Structure formats: C-alpha cells, structure tokens
Amino acid sequence: MLNLSVRRRHEQSYEQLRQSMLDETSRFIEWGLRHPHEIPRIPTHPVGRGGFPEQLKACFWRWIWRQDLDSPE
C-alpha cells in the first residue's frame, strides 16, 4: 500500500500534490476539531529555559508513533 501511495504521489504534478496535501491537512484539522479529546497534548515550556528530559521526549514520541499507526484515513 505504501508503494502505491508513493508511486501515486510521484506521478502527480506539483499542483496536484499540493492540493492533495492541503486536502489531507484539512481533513485532519476537521477530525481534530470533532474529536479534541483524541488530539495529543504537546508539552511546552518557555523559550530559552532548557529542554525536556530525554525520558519525556522518548515517551512522547513513542506515544505519537503509536497513535499514527491507528490514525483515521
């Protein structure tokens, strides 16, 4: 399935690819607005005050990638 998707995108013109990306983004935003409880909270902190602990970063990205596998089409 991935190969078909990559091949399809490769055969698209720039405008077709651009429109496809805009449509996909629009669908995700609409889905997120209908399901706010399913959108991950992205940790934040003031700029210039250091970074996040490595363990928190690893946990966050594991959760994001796991959610990506279950994301709606």
pLDDT (tens digit, 9 = 90+) per residue, 13-69?
899 999 999 999 999 999 999 999 998 787 777 777 777 888 988 888 888 888 655
Domain boundaries, the chain: 2-40+51-69
pTM for the model stands at 0.45
Query: How far is residue 54's CA from residue 48's CA, in Å, rounded to a whole number?
Result: 17
Token pair for 49 = 């005050």
Query: How far is residue 23's CA from residue 6's CA, in Å, rounded to a whole number?
Result: 17
Query: How far is residue 73's CA from residue 69's CA, in Å, rounded to a whole number?
Result: 10
Q: Which residue has the tokens 């698209």?
A: 12
Classify residue 50 by its DSSP letter. Answer: -
- 60 in Cβ contact with 41 (< 8 Å): no
